[in-house]
Structure 1
Amino acid sequence: MTTADSINSKELETLSNTPQARSEKDMENSAPVKKDLDEGTTVEDAEPIGDAEKQAPPPTITFPDGGLQAWLVVLGAAIALFCSFGYVNAFGVYEAYYLSVLLKEKTADDIAWIGSIQICFIFGSGLFAGSIFDQYGARIILIPASILLVASVMLTSICKEYYQFLLCQGILGGICQGALFTPAVGVIGQYFNKKRAAAMGMVVAGSSLGGVILPIMIANLIEKTTFGWTVRAIGFLFMGLLWITCVTVVERLPHRSGTFFLPEAFKDPVYVLLVFGNFFILWGMFTPFFFIPTYALKLGMSHSMSVYLVSILNGLSFPGRILPGYIADRFGRMNCIIIAPTVTGILIWAWLGVKSATGLIVLTAFFGFWSGSSISLFPAVMAQIVPNPREMGTYIGMAMGISGAAGLTGSPIAGALLTKYGYTAAISFAGSCIIVGTTLLIAARLIYNPKIFAIA
């Protein structure tokens, strides 16, 4: 019997022929082991082989866990998130400007639909982007997405009507940003294992950096020039940055073959609970991002100061996306992903008691840190439960696709509640969603490892 026959998997045979797999095979013991190597981490990707065939070792998948190429991938992926989620994180500035200048006849929930549609398509397009990345590679999707995202920003600069903003900024922008986001997150799992949460945190921190720089850039340019040239400046910035992403972000494992989606993932209760836990958390998470600037105006803050609140939120989100990654790699990613949304939910409920500008600034800072942790840890946890690293893009993409409905409806629901009942109703909706999502994450953690104090 041949080795391929004993494993009975064409996919594992392909993996065993990669240079990384051939160089790391253990010729003495065929039982699956997990060991640390000087140059990285090796994880076995096969079932135990019978005694009669111990001379034929199972194939392995290696993770560099560092090196020039791996860190260049982190850089390119972080830039992709700067231009995708970083731009969405700045939507609070657009919300305030559209309400007060360009679209004064529209309500808060009307304008929130622009950002919500954008978020929806970022997640929803990941449903396809993840599978395309797994089966055909990164550049086939990153290059056209980069070109079209720049076109989307440039078209937004000449928009005048509400429907035009929906089409250009919401739909086209969201689709392109999702096509950038999913491969950028999925590729990290092919390069990192032991340091995966830390590397993922650095990548997701790119969106925080965008959320700091872009609102300040928009606010200052609008005072010195027109709205059109302000937005066009963002487009030229993206044009200069995204070529780095297209050059550096490249997969290292063989492409996956087979079905476009992987519905068998939903047979795993841990995966299902993580996906729907993330759904509810995102359903409430973006309410502060969208409505803290308008709440600041309600408290009597100046327009410029309300804009800087968005930068404060995203500025504190930056360390909140990096530091928990290092902690999670040591104390368990599943453990940390429960703590972060728990504190985030408490802070959202605390928003009900904020009645002063100083209190809002303090709340914004703390919310920025902990919400950043909630967002950055989810891809790392998802990568931890994926059975094969070559399926990571599809697993994450399917999860993001389901979360698209949360991104689409969360902020408009909060905006409608705000318009009809006030901030108390909108804040209560967001806080309740976080509670439900955190409960589902706790259930996923206990199924994954029932030991309460275990590192998981």
Structure 2
Amino acid sequence: MQTRSDPEQIEGRGDDAAHRKDGDEHTVAGWLTVAGSFLVYFVSYGYMNSFGYFQDYYLGHSLAGYPSSVIAIIGSLQLGLMNLIQPVAGGLADSYSPSILYAVAAVGAIVSSVGVSFAQPGHIWQFILTQGVIFGSTAVFGTAVSLPLASQHFTRRRASAIGIVASGNSAGGVCLPIMFSHLVPRIGFGWALRIAALIALVCYGIAILISRPKLPRKPVKSIWSIVDFNGFRDPRYSTLALANVVGNFGLYVPFYYLANLFTRAVHRGSPSGSRGEELPSPAYQRIKLLRPSDVSYRVVQCAIMSSTLTNPSGGYVADHTGGLNLLYPLTAISGILCLTLWLLSTSVSMIVAFACLYGIFFSLIYACIKLAGVTPSVTVRLSPTDKVGARLGAFSIWSTIGVFTGTPIGGAFVRRGTPEEYQHLIIFTGMCLTASAVLQFATRILCDRDLRKKW
């Protein structure tokens, strides 16, 4: 439940955009900018959403001697560093040309991919440095500017434009793993990563050429204007922040561990069934014809593809019901899905069904936070006007706690990969999401006891 881009930039530019005429929304420059932002999301978040594939590959090849909890640090660093650097990158996005920030992100993506391609098996620090630190600390400079840049060209169709950009997140998460699963067996892991670097160069290059800002640049912000922790004195703000951290402990766990769990389900029977029944023979016979990397990650792709279909509509629904009003029931349902359908899965079809349903609710949660802007909308009501952006920055930094630690904690549950350990992982995930939903509901009550009001 993290906010991966600075929503203040979107909110803050609404007043300027309100003075534009509807005819200004039909410009070629506006839609080209949307296309460029889509490509940035495709590369940056697509690469991160592919980490489930990398984790599964590393466990069997490059980092076979390391437990899941240690390998998961790589993916956690990607997301955590993006959240940590987000306030700074968001401030720079207001003051510098998008071409400069896109160039920084492009260099980071290329260096990261090429660096991973030359990383030596068994030397995990090389993977942490290249894929975790370098990519996570530079990709944020692309994502911080892409969504606000596209939104400033639109008023009436802003939700549609943002939905198109955000769908690049899921599109990349589907396409890139498919590419890796086909290229790695044919040309090797190293060359597959170098092709990924070339794709990043092309996507960022096109984005630089076709993206145009609509609004003038603002003066460079000081570091003290970017972050303000005084908002935590307000119980409504601090409760929502705590809900965000607790939710982040479990929100991304299925995307990291579902592929490996599915592989074990195929080869050893149900990962959670009390009797350890074998999967139906016809299903296994069909599945074993495919490469393990294809089979296992196809399940994660089911979740990502489901999120692609619902991502654009989620922001629209949240705009009409209120983001916070929609967020806590969606989070609760996600937790219940983990504690029921995933925990009790006894067949391939049940795991696939969970993946699809979880992908849908994950995307709706994402839409509530990012497209409908739960965090900025609540923060705006609770903060002085001149402190909104700084408190959003503090919120983003606080969110890194859950992002940095959630998936490694999950990996600590499955050191040996036994069915009982995966049960513990699933229970941990479900309980984190359920607890987050309770805290979100508490925030809603603290904001206004009348649940019919839009929040």
Q: TM-score per shorter chain, which class?
A: 0.7 to 0.9
- Pairing 1:368–2:359 present: yes
Once the two structures are overlaid, the 10-residue window that deviates more, 288-297 or 111-120, is 111-120
More contact order relative to length (CA 8 Å, sep ≥ 6): 2
- CA RMSD in angstroms comes to 3.0
**Match in the other structure for 1:437:** 436
User: What's the CA shift string for 1:161-190, capped at 9, x where partnerless?
Assistant: 211111100110111122222222444554
Q: Residues 90-129 of structure 1: matches in 2 within 5 Å?
A: 90-129=50-89
**Contact 1:81 1:203 survives alignment (8 Å):** yes
AA aligned opposite 1:437 = S
Distance between the aligned counterparts of 1:198 and 1:414, measured in 2?
Answer: 35
SS of 1:220's partner is helix
Query: How many Å separate the matches in 2 of 1:249 and 1:402?
Result: 32
Specify the alignment match of 2:166 in structure 1.
Answer: 204
In our comparison, the structure showing a higher alpha carbon Rg is 1
Moved more, 289-298 or 402-411: 402-411
2:215 to 249, 252, 255: 252
**2: distance between equivalents of 1:374 and 1:77?**
21
Corresponding residue for residue 164 of structure 1: 126
Partner of 1:384: 377
* Residue 318 of structure 2 corresponds to residue 352 of structure 1: no
Letter in 2 for 1:279: V
The CA deviation at 1:257 is: 5.7
> Which residue in the other structure is 1:405 paired with?
401
How far did 1:110 drift? 1.8
Whole-angstrom distance in 2 between the partners of 1:422 and 1:365: 23
Counterpart for residue 308 of structure 2? 318
CA contact (8 A) 2:22 2:156 kept: no
Structure 1 residue 39 corresponds to structure 2 residue 31? no
The one-letter code of the counterpart of 2:218 is H
- Confirm whether residue 232 of structure 1 aligns to residue 194 of structure 2: yes
Q: Which moved more, 1:197-206 or 1:343-352?
A: 197-206
Gaps of 5+ in 1: 1-14, 25-36, 41-63
Query: Is the CA contact (8 Å cut-off) linking 1:280 and 1:437 kept in structure 2?
Result: yes
* Long gaps (5+) in structure 2: 1-11, 267-286
Per the TM alignment, residue 359 of structure 1 is displaced from its structure 2 partner at its CA by 0.8
Amino acid at match of 1:354: S
Tell me by how many angstroms 1:85 deviates.
1.7
Please tell me whether the aligned partners of residues 91 and 115 of structure 1 are also in contact (alpha carbons under 8 angstroms): yes
Change (3 A) 1:393 1:199: farther
Higher mean C-alpha deviation, range 263-272 or range 340-349: 263-272
Task: Report deviation, 1:417.
Answer: 1.4
In 2, Cα distance between equivalents of 1:132 and 1:269: 30
Q: Quick one: distance in 2 between partners of 1:367 and 1:90?
A: 17
Residue in structure 2 matching 1:416, options 412, 418, 425: 412
2:182 to 213, 220, 233: 220
Q: What residue number does 1:142 align with?
A: 102
Deviation at 1:375, TM superposition (A): 1.6
- Provide the residue aligned with 1:451 in structure 2: 450
Identical-residue share of aligned pairs (%): 25
Q: Quick check: 1:330 aligned with 2:337?
A: no
Quick one: which of 244, 251, 255 aligns to 1:278?
244
User: TM-score scaled by structure 2?
Assistant: 0.79
1:330 is paired with a residue of what secondary structure? helix
Give the counterpart of 2:264 among 282, 298, 301. 298
8 Å Cα contact 2:38-2:165 kept in structure 1: yes
SS of aligned partner of 1:353: coil
User: How far did 1:376 drift?
Assistant: 2.6
Cα separation, 1, equivalents of 2:311 and 2:388: 20
Alpha-carbon distance in 2 for matches of 1:383, 1:448: 14
- Tell me how far 1:423 sits from its aligned partner: 0.9
Q: Distance in 2 between matches of 1:75 and 1:201?
A: 12
1:74 deviates by 2.9
Q: Who is 1:12 aligned against?
A: none
* SS of residue in 2 equivalent to 1:419: coil
One-letter amino acid of the counterpart of residue 295, structure 1: L
2:299 counterpart letter in structure 1: L
Measured in 2, the distance between the counterparts of 1:182 and 1:389 equals 22
**Aligned residue number for residue 39 of structure 2:** 79
What code does the residue aligned with 1:298 have?
A: R
TM-superposition CA deviations, 1:105-152 (whole Å, max 9, x none): 111112111111222112222132122223445444222122222111
CA distance in 1, matches of 2:152, 2:386: 7
Number of aligned residues: 403
Aligned equivalents of 1:397, 1:168: Cα separation in 2: 26
Range with greater deviation from structure 2 (205-214 or 385-394): 385-394
Q: TM-score, normalised by structure 1?
A: 0.79
| Cα 1:130/1:266, change in 2 over 3 Å | farther
Aligned in 2, Cα 1:362/1:320: closer, same or farther, shift over 3 Å? same
Amino acid at match of 2:428: F
